[in-house]
Amino acid sequence: MLLEVSNLNTYYGQSHALQDMTLNVAQGEVVALLGRNGMGKSTTLKSIMGLLKPSSGKVVFNGREITGLQPYKVARAGIGYVPEERRIFPNLSVMDNLMMGVKGGKINNSDPEAWSIEKIFRHFPFMKERTHQKGAHLSGGEQQMLTIGRTLMGNPKLLMVDEPTEGLSPIMVKEVRDVLKQISESGISILLVEHNLKMAMSIAHRVYLMGKAHLGFSGTVAELEANAEAKAKYLEV
Given 23, 29, 43, 144, the residue binding ligand ATP (CB under 6 A):
43
Name the residue nearer to ligand ATP (CB basis): 15 or 109: 15
Of 186, 191, 203, give the one whose Cα is nearest residue 159. Answer: 191
**Minimal distance, residue 223 CB to Mg ion, in Å:** 24
Beta strands in 43-163 (DSSP E): 56-61, 64-65, 79-82, 158-162
Q: Which one of ligand ATP, Mg ion, none interacts with residue 15, CB within 5 to 8 A by kind?
A: ligand ATP
Give the closest residue to 28 by CA, choosing from 187, 149, 164, 178. Answer: 187
DSSP 134: B
| Virtual torsion, Cα 38, 44, 47, 52, nearest 10 deg | 0
Pick 120 or 209: Cβ nearer ligand ATP: 209
| Total residues binding ligand ATP (CB under 6 A) | 11
Length of the chain: 237
DSSP codes of every residue in 14-30: TEEEEEEEEEEE-TT-E
Residue 40 in the binding site for ligand ATP (CB under 6 A): yes
Give alpha helix (H) positions in 170-227: 170-185, 197-203, 221-225
Q: For residue 97, what is the enclosing H or E element?
A: helix 94-99
Q: Which does 150 bind (CB under 5 to 8 A by kind): Mg ion, ligand ATP, none?
A: none
Q: Least CB distance from residue 195 to ligand ATP, whole Å?
A: 6
Site string for Mg ion, 34-73 (x = CB under 5 A): --------x-------------------------------
Rounded distance between C-alpha atoms, residue 153 and residue 111, angstroms: 13
Residues 97-126 that bind Mg ion (CB under 5 A): none
> Which segment (37-45, 98-106, 127-135, 144-152) binds ligand ATP by CB under 6 A?
37-45
What CA–CA distance (Å, rounded) separates 103 from 72?
Answer: 9
Q: Which stretch binds ligand ATP (CB under 6 A): 32-40, 57-65, 133-141, 148-156?
A: 32-40
Looking at the Cβ atoms of 32 and 153, the one nearer to Mg ion is 32
Which of residues 12, 72, 170, 182 is near ligand ATP by CB under 6 A? 12
Which residues, including other chains, have CB under 8 Å from residue 66's CB and lie 6 or more apart? 50, 59, 60, 73, 74, 77, 79
Binding site for Mg ion (CB under 5 A): 42
Binding site for ligand ATP (CB under 6 A): 12, 15, 17, 35, 37-43
